[in-house]
Chain A
Amino acid sequence: MFLSMNWISDYVDLSGLDKRELISRFSLSTAEVENEIFYKGSDLSGVVVAEIKSVEEHPESKKLHLLKVDCGDGVLTDVVCGAPNVRVGMKTAFAKLGAQIGDITITPRKLAGYTSNGMCCSEKEIGISDDHGGIMEIFEDVALGTDIKDIYQIDDIVFEVDNKSLTNRPDLWGHYGIAREFAAIAGRELKPLEVIDLSQYDNLPGIDMKIENTLCQRYSCLKFENIQMNVSPVNMRIRLFYCGMRAINLLADLTNYLMLEMGQPMHAFDSRKVEKIRIKCFDKPFVFRTLDGVDRNVDENTLMICNGDTPVAIAGIMGGLDSEIVEDTTTLTLESATFDAVSVRKSTVRLAHRTDASMRYEKCLDPEMTVKAIARFVKLLMDIDGGVKIVSSLTDEYAVKYDTVTLSFDKSYVNRYTGIEISNEQIVKTLESLGFGVTLAGEAFTVTVPSWRATKDVTIKADIIEEITRIYGYDNFDVHTTRVPLYPVRAYEEKTVEDKMKDILVKRYSLHEVHSYIWAYYDEYKALGIEIEDNVKLVNSTNPNIETLRRSMIPTQLCQVKSNFQYAADFGIFEVGRVVDGLKDDNLCNEKKKLGITLFSKTKTIEQLYFELRDMVAVLFDDIKHTAITLSKKEATHSYQHLKNLNAIVADGKEIGEIGVAHPVVSKKIDKKAAIVFAELDVTEFAEITNKSISYEEPSRFPEMTVDLSFVAEKFEPIANAIAKANSPLVKKVSVADIYQDENGKSITVRILFSHAERTLTREEVTEVTDAVIAELAKDGIALKN
């Protein structure tokens, strides 16, 4: 919203104050002002009132005229002018030699062979409207040569307030409310609005009007006729233009002017079309043509202004084309009303049509304003057009009244909430300047909220704190730290685990952390042949491609691997993110925090890559929780899983996740030759695993002995079992030294480390153990190699 400093200054005397500084304080105390401030008229000088004394056609140009112009200095100036509306006796705005118009300095100029010693200006050239149809005509009775800035308020400072910062302030949608803020900030007095006393028309007949639906809070109207003037005064038009509105005609301009001044939207109907005003909703939807000529579908929830049963306007949004003021309109009915904010907002959304009026109604306008706005309108109208006749009494129905809001608090409350000392005197002064009623008894304040702040904005005492502090100025605050007791802060285990997982995967395994989305992307899944599994859905996604939440991170990661398949021959990605595993019994989403890892390789076999990932996962458990994992075979149940080598990852007797190979169909769609494996862990369950404490074992000071045994075996498990069965305290470590495959089959070399804490080992005691292992394995038909 654009605001004019001249307009504001109508209501508060800001003379002697730095306006730029004031605007910046307004931004810090009230609402955000856009950075650019417009100094209107600052690039205009030397333009005076002049009269055209003669007009001659240019001999060679159809458009140009040769004028002689009198600008009050007793000589006639030759001017070449292209405007179509020149005529003798016309007074216009004339830029003399040396005048400044925007970037241009007026100098004698040759136009088609004739010298022009100045320029007659259009309103657009002066910058007071976008009318460039001809030169400006001046009707005011002023001496020739008078600077036009002496007649019109061309010099002005215009600034823009961000509408978003006014959402909770219905009172700031007009200049008068803004002026109140400036008065409070500057510590100056707010002048009252000049209005006419409407009670003088009380004896005139009323208007047939009735609120049938209380979505209309208040409806006030007045009838008048005999308007002679059609064009608004220049100064009014300048203000409208500076504030971003186009002048149309006196009536339309006046309703706009009132809206920009008081924030009260108004509407003028042709009285013949509103003889029986009813405010109501209709039973069923219908089509209604608004005054912009658009047919709109109106439903049964939309409040309408009607003439009997005929709709004539959409309440709070826009009038109808049929009831518009037309050429033969003689009598007008002026509406000034308040409607339910939520209802207007919803209608606006349904109609997809936001107007200057609806924007204001959405903010909960003050119903106290309707009558005052009419009184102000009539005052302005009569000042402009003395012939206007009021032909009805003020007709006013006040259906829904807001309660008066009164708030009580102590000085100590203000001190506690602000943390600084603001004097009682300053509190009272601030609140009163903003229109609050204040009584102070000792240290106890009782504050009455003015009607324009009481519609939703100020309801609790903390709101009063804001009023006091924003005018006090946050820049003026003495800032200091808190005084709170000390106590240790315990880290949140799940977060700690998450951080450690990331560190290990990035630092040790060179994986890349990625982010993704919580839903399945249909097209991406489809491209890889991954089934979209039934799950909780979004009900209002605007993107048909996203609807179903994901049950697992792995399909997401396979899609991301696909988009990176040319990134490198080997890479791995991971993410800590959320999945939803359907609904729980209480109908709430079963949301889980998961770690997903996917590895891609064109240089390793699937088996090598699988073991790499298995080791990675084992390290996560070992490093973070000092816990070993076991893997147990699982049946594949999802389309992206390979049917073989899917294993549950078990720790502490609990399944924490799974590890597997991408289904060959999916894998081939990503890359024909690459190996792709994945693992998914439940981070919450991982975090819940008991962290095994470290129990130190002193290394033996005596020599250790290492024995390698090679068995012809398919799997390591029986060998491990046999060693375990031997149950020797001398066995300190068992590892696989080699796995060898040849035409005779597979052989596994196990390396067993023996040691004793207190003495040197004997060959015999070691052999005793190895013999037992060999004998045990022989029972299962597993023989030593050679």
Chain B
Amino acid sequence: MEEKILKLKEQLENELSKVQDAAELESIRVAYLGKKGCITELLKGLKDLSDEEKKSFGQKVNLLKGEVSAKIDDYKVKLAEAEVLKEIEAMPEFDMSIPANLERGSYHPITLVQRECEKVFKSLGFVVEDYSEIVSEYECFEALNIPKHHPARDMQDTYYLENGQLLKTHTSAAQNAIYRKYKDALINEGKPIKAIFPGRCFRNEATDACHENTFFQMEGVMVGKDINISNLIFFMKTMLSEVFQRDIKVRLRPGFFPFVEPGFELDINCLICGGEGCPSCKQSGWLELCPCGMIHPEVLKAGGIDPEEYTGFAFGLGLTRLAMMKYGVKDIRDLNSGVLKSMEQFTDGE
């Protein structure tokens, strides 16, 4: 009997050492500890033994059973560990030199620049408005104090339509509608008008790298009691510093636009050289950026607002020009080309 036990132990060690996976281990377990397993068989032999022998042999077999069970469990853990190791080892080292797949959508650069500007104005309590692209002569000219026979109304600059309407030549064409929309709140509730209105504009001209017949502007107006030139300068400086994310110096020069009085050309210190003078600013240190001014009394009147009581300022930003400046786009025609090799480069990275 003793011998049998020893042999079994030996045999078990031998078999366990060859075990490859959980299934084999399980079959060993069954072979030893199962209902018909050899240890169970050993116990069956008990009935032929004397009580004394039964007792001692029974103890030994039970001990063996425990030992075998523990050994198998031990192997189970080892096997599991080995499998995890195997799995870990089976994984290859990935090739990190393969370039990342950057496939993604893209925004039009105008959208990106427009959103940046809108963000600034929204933070200053401006409402973002929109307006039609086809407008009347009245909206585009008369309401802006641009009389008949003004050079800006020449046929060669404006796309006229068969029905007498036209493609708006500037976002200012929405001013009249904006004033009319908000004048009651201004007059009755004292709410100042603060609005920006980005939009697409059209000029009837031949296109080249610097000229497009279809481009974007963004107009802004603020009207209230006692809005003055000092406010205008403050506002333009603050707004542009936000847009360009740095402290911008502004400079105002007289500029003539029929819908403002006084009207200004606003220069900012050159973004490239900071004002020292470089080829970008033709050594002047300044960049002409946007026209602005105090809204002409006739324009307020046309919008239903009494210029004796209310004053305001207006400004126009060339969104297309801003986008070109910001991204270094050299040919303006790229923007409307729909060529995805160009367009895919513009993402919302702010």
* Residues from chain B with Cβ under 8 Å of A578 in the complex: 132-134, 200
A580 located at the interface, meaning its Cβ lies under 8 Å from any Cβ of chain B in the complex: yes
Given A417-B311, A513-B108: A539 in contact with B294 (beta carbons within 8 A): no
Q: Is the CB of A477 within 8 A of B254?
A: no
A494 located at the interface, meaning its Cβ lies under 8 Å from any Cβ of chain B in the complex: yes
Q: Which residue of B lies closest to A168 (CB)?
A: B256
Q: Is the CB of B108 within 8 A of A418?
A: no
B265 located at the interface, meaning its Cβ lies under 8 Å from any Cβ of chain A in the complex: yes
B122 located at the interface, meaning its Cβ lies under 8 Å from any Cβ of chain A in the complex: yes
* Residues from chain B with Cβ under 8 Å of A564 in the complex: 338-340
Q: What CA separation (Å) do A564 and B296 show in the bound complex?
A: 47
Contact with A along B258-291 (1 / 0, CB 8 A): 0001111100000000000000001110000000
Contact with A along B215-253 (1 / 0, CB 8 A): 000000010101111110111011000000000000111
* Residues from chain A with Cβ under 8 Å of B233 in the complex: 474, 477, 479
Q: What CA separation (Å) do A482 and B130 show in the bound complex?
A: 25
Q: Is the CB of B338 within 8 A of A573?
A: yes
B161 located at the interface, meaning its Cβ lies under 8 Å from any Cβ of chain A in the complex: yes
Q: Is the CB of B191 within 8 A of A481?
A: no
Q: What CA separation (Å) do A470 and B130 show in the bound complex?
A: 34
* Residues from chain B with Cβ under 8 Å of A518 in the complex: 133, 167, 200, 202, 214
Q: What CA separation (Å) do A346 and B252 show in the bound complex?
A: 33
* Residues from chain B with Cβ under 8 Å of A474 in the complex: 229, 233, 251-253, 264
Q: Which residue of B lies closest to A549 (CB)?
A: B161
* Residues from chain A with Cβ under 8 Å of B261 in the complex: 460, 462-463, 465-466
* Residues from chain A with Cβ under 8 Å of B339 in the complex: 563-564
Q: Is the CB of A494 within 8 A of B163?
A: no
Q: Which residue of B lies closest to A503 (CB)?
A: B348
Q: Is the CB of A32 within 8 A of B204?
A: no
Q: Which residue of A lies closest to B199 (CB)?
A: A578
A interface size (C-beta, 8 A): 89
B154 located at the interface, meaning its Cβ lies under 8 Å from any Cβ of chain A in the complex: yes
A732 located at the interface, meaning its Cβ lies under 8 Å from any Cβ of chain B in the complex: no
Q: Is the CB of A580 within 8 A of B134?
A: yes
Least distance between B88 CB and chain A CB atoms (Å): 35
Q: Is the CB of B204 within 8 A of A480?
A: no
* Residues from chain B with Cβ under 8 Å of A466 in the complex: 254, 261-263
Q: What CA separation (Å) do A646 and B338 show in the bound complex?
A: 25
Q: What CA separation (Å) do A499 and B343 show in the bound complex?
A: 18
A511 located at the interface, meaning its Cβ lies under 8 Å from any Cβ of chain B in the complex: yes
A514 located at the interface, meaning its Cβ lies under 8 Å from any Cβ of chain B in the complex: yes
* Residues from chain B with Cβ under 8 Å of A588 in the complex: 134, 136, 163, 165
B149 located at the interface, meaning its Cβ lies under 8 Å from any Cβ of chain A in the complex: yes
Q: Is the CB of B159 within 8 A of A511?
A: no
Q: Which residue of A lies closest to B194 (CB)?
A: A489
Q: Is the CB of B226 within 8 A of A492?
A: no
Contact with B along A107-118 (1 / 0, CB 8 A): 000000000000
Contact with B along A489-532 (1 / 0, CB 8 A): 11110110001001001110111111111100000000000000
Q: Is the CB of B161 within 8 A of A345?
A: no
How many contacting A-B pairs (Cβ < 8 A)? Answer: 231
* Residues from chain A with Cβ under 8 Å of B228 in the complex: 416-420
Q: Is the CB of B163 within 8 A of A536?
A: yes
* Residues from chain A with Cβ under 8 Å of B253 in the complex: 27-28, 32, 474
Given A510-B104, A515-B336, A540-B155: A477 in contact with B111 (beta carbons within 8 A): no
From A460, A480, A543, give the contact of B230 (CB < 8 A): A480
| Most B CB within 10 A of own CB, among A31, A469, A485, A512 | A512
A538 located at the interface, meaning its Cβ lies under 8 Å from any Cβ of chain B in the complex: yes
From A416, A475, A517, give the contact of B251 (CB < 8 A): A475
B18 located at the interface, meaning its Cβ lies under 8 Å from any Cβ of chain A in the complex: no
A122 located at the interface, meaning its Cβ lies under 8 Å from any Cβ of chain B in the complex: no
Least distance between B263 CB and chain A CB atoms (Å): 8
* Residues from chain B with Cβ under 8 Å of A485 in the complex: 190-192
B84 located at the interface, meaning its Cβ lies under 8 Å from any Cβ of chain A in the complex: no
Given A167-B256, A512-B106, A514-B108: A469 in contact with B229 (beta carbons within 8 A): yes
Q: Which residue of B lies closest to A490 (CB)?
A: B127
B126 located at the interface, meaning its Cβ lies under 8 Å from any Cβ of chain A in the complex: yes
Q: Which residue of A lies closest to B128 (CB)?
A: A495
A693 located at the interface, meaning its Cβ lies under 8 Å from any Cβ of chain B in the complex: no
From A169, A516, A589, give the contact of B134 (CB < 8 A): A589
Least distance between A338 CB and chain B CB atoms (Å): 17
B interface size (C-beta, 8 A): 87
Q: What CA separation (Å) do A474 and B163 show in the bound complex?
A: 44
Q: Using a CB-CB cutoff of 8 Å, which residues 431-469 of chain A contact chain B?
A: 460, 462-463, 465-466, 469
* Residues from chain A with Cβ under 8 Å of B284 in the complex: 35
Given A342-B149, A512-B340, A578-B133: A416 in contact with B311 (beta carbons within 8 A): yes
A541 located at the interface, meaning its Cβ lies under 8 Å from any Cβ of chain B in the complex: yes
* Residues from chain A with Cβ under 8 Å of B263 in the complex: 466
A487 located at the interface, meaning its Cβ lies under 8 Å from any Cβ of chain B in the complex: yes
Q: What CA separation (Å) do A591 and B202 show in the bound complex?
A: 15
Q: Is the CB of A165 within 8 A of B230?
A: no
Q: Which residue of B lies closest to A483 (CB)?
A: B226
Given A462-B297, A474-B264, A507-B105: A494 in contact with B235 (beta carbons within 8 A): no
Given A462-B294, A470-B254: A481 in contact with B234 (beta carbons within 8 A): yes
Contact with A along B132-153 (1 / 0, CB 8 A): 1110100000000000010100
Q: What CA separation (Å) do A277 and B220 show in the bound complex?
A: 53
B173 located at the interface, meaning its Cβ lies under 8 Å from any Cβ of chain A in the complex: no
Given A418-B230, A462-B261, A591-B133: A481 in contact with B235 (beta carbons within 8 A): yes
Q: Is the CB of A477 within 8 A of B230?
A: yes
A770 located at the interface, meaning its Cβ lies under 8 Å from any Cβ of chain B in the complex: no
Contact with B along A275-311 (1 / 0, CB 8 A): 0000000000000000000000000000000000000
Least distance between B18 CB and chain A CB atoms (Å): 45
Q: Is the CB of B163 within 8 A of A165?
A: no
A717 located at the interface, meaning its Cβ lies under 8 Å from any Cβ of chain B in the complex: no
* Residues from chain B with Cβ under 8 Å of A342 in the complex: 149
A478 located at the interface, meaning its Cβ lies under 8 Å from any Cβ of chain B in the complex: yes
| Most A CB within 10 A of own CB, among B129, B230, B265, B298 | B230
* Residues from chain B with Cβ under 8 Å of A483 in the complex: 226
A271 located at the interface, meaning its Cβ lies under 8 Å from any Cβ of chain B in the complex: no
Q: Is the CB of B134 within 8 A of A479?
A: no
B162 located at the interface, meaning its Cβ lies under 8 Å from any Cβ of chain A in the complex: yes
Q: Is the CB of A541 within 8 A of B204?
A: yes
Q: Using a CB-CB cutoff of 8 Å, which residues 522-579 of chain A contact chain B?
A: 536-543, 549, 557, 559-560, 563-564, 567-568, 571, 573, 575, 577-578
Least distance between A353 CB and chain B CB atoms (Å): 16
Given A419-B228, A460-B297: A515 in contact with B335 (beta carbons within 8 A): yes
Q: What CA separation (Å) do A28 and B251 show in the bound complex?
A: 8
Q: Is the CB of B338 within 8 A of A516?
A: yes
* Residues from chain B with Cβ under 8 Å of A168 in the complex: 256
A29 located at the interface, meaning its Cβ lies under 8 Å from any Cβ of chain B in the complex: yes
A30 located at the interface, meaning its Cβ lies under 8 Å from any Cβ of chain B in the complex: yes
Q: Is the CB of A419 within 8 A of B161?
A: no
Q: Is the CB of A517 within 8 A of B214?
A: yes
* Residues from chain A with Cβ under 8 Å of B103 in the complex: 510
B107 located at the interface, meaning its Cβ lies under 8 Å from any Cβ of chain A in the complex: yes
Q: Is the CB of B162 within 8 A of A536?
A: yes
A75 located at the interface, meaning its Cβ lies under 8 Å from any Cβ of chain B in the complex: no
B23 located at the interface, meaning its Cβ lies under 8 Å from any Cβ of chain A in the complex: no
State the B residues within 8 Å of A (CB): 103-108, 110-111, 115, 122, 125-130, 132-134, 136, 149, 151, 154-156, 158-165, 167, 190-192, 194, 200, 202, 204-206, 213-214, 222, 224, 226-231, 233-235, 237-238, 251-256, 261-265, 282-284, 294, 296-298, 311, 335-341, 343-344, 348
For this complex, 18 residue pairs linking A to B, each with C-beta atoms less than 8 Å apart, are A165-B254, A165-B255, A345-B151, A463-B261, A465-B294, A474-B233, A474-B264, A477-B233, A479-B233, A485-B190, A512-B105, A513-B108, A515-B335, A540-B204, A559-B338, A575-B108, A587-B163, A587-B164
Other than the known A469-B262, A482-B231, A492-B128, what 8 A-B pairs have Cβ atoms closer than 8 Å?
A419-B230, A463-B262, A477-B233, A495-B130, A506-B104, A513-B108, A518-B167, A583-B163
A-B pairs, top 5 by smallest CB distance, nearest first, are A419-B230, A419-B228, A560-B338, A466-B262, A506-B105
